[in-house]
Amino acid sequence: MDARQTANDQARAFLADVEDALAPAVPTSYRDDTLPAQSTVGTTPPVPQPGRPAMSQRATDASALMLAAGVASVPIGGVASLFVYTLGQVDPTTLAIAAAAPATIALPILALCRLAGRARQVVEAAPPIVHQHYAGPVDQRTVTATARGLVARSRGEMKG
């Protein structure tokens, strides 16, 4: 039995050495007890979360503006439905033309405003105009090439 017990002790020692070798060098968890208890919720401190970040102030303002416009459209829709109800029978073609008229007027106006905005951006981005004036003799020559044909050869030689 003595040999068997020594083998078991050696196996246990070997397994303990393997566990020590495979143990992580860095602890897998850490608790910071120096944090104040009232500022945390739960057992872990806050960390940046993956995914989409919170909405910016500009996005929040735009969202509130859209909600306000949606709420403001309710009375307009109510007046329109009351108007249609009081008319009794409405020709669908006339109703479609009347409903499409504001859009047909607004779309070109919006397109022109957008075009004017882009034109303003182009003008602002353009380099400044620089006028350079030189004094001295001017030599101007005009050369006309008259070589025509499928395989024409034009030499840049000046005669005369």
Q: Which residues 6+ apart lie within 8 Å of 2 measured at CB?
A: none
What pLDDT, in 10s, does the model give residues 20-68?
888 777 766 777 777 666 555 567 666 777 777 778 888 889 999 999 9
CA distance 45 to 35: 8
91 confidence band (pLDDT: 50, 70, 90): confident
Does pTM top 0.85 for this prediction? Answer: no
Residue 156 is inside which H or E element, if any? none
Q: What is the pLDDT of residue 155?
A: 67
Give whichever of 7-16, 20-29, 92-101 has the largest mean pLDDT.
Answer: 7-16
160 confidence band (pLDDT: 50, 70, 90): low
CA distance 49 to 147: 73
- pLDDT of 100 above 90: no
User: What number is the average pLDDT over the span 69-78?
Assistant: 87
Domain residue spans in the chain? 59-89, 91-125
Q: What is the pLDDT of residue 156?
A: 64
What pLDDT, in 10s, does the model give residues 119-128?
888 888 878 8
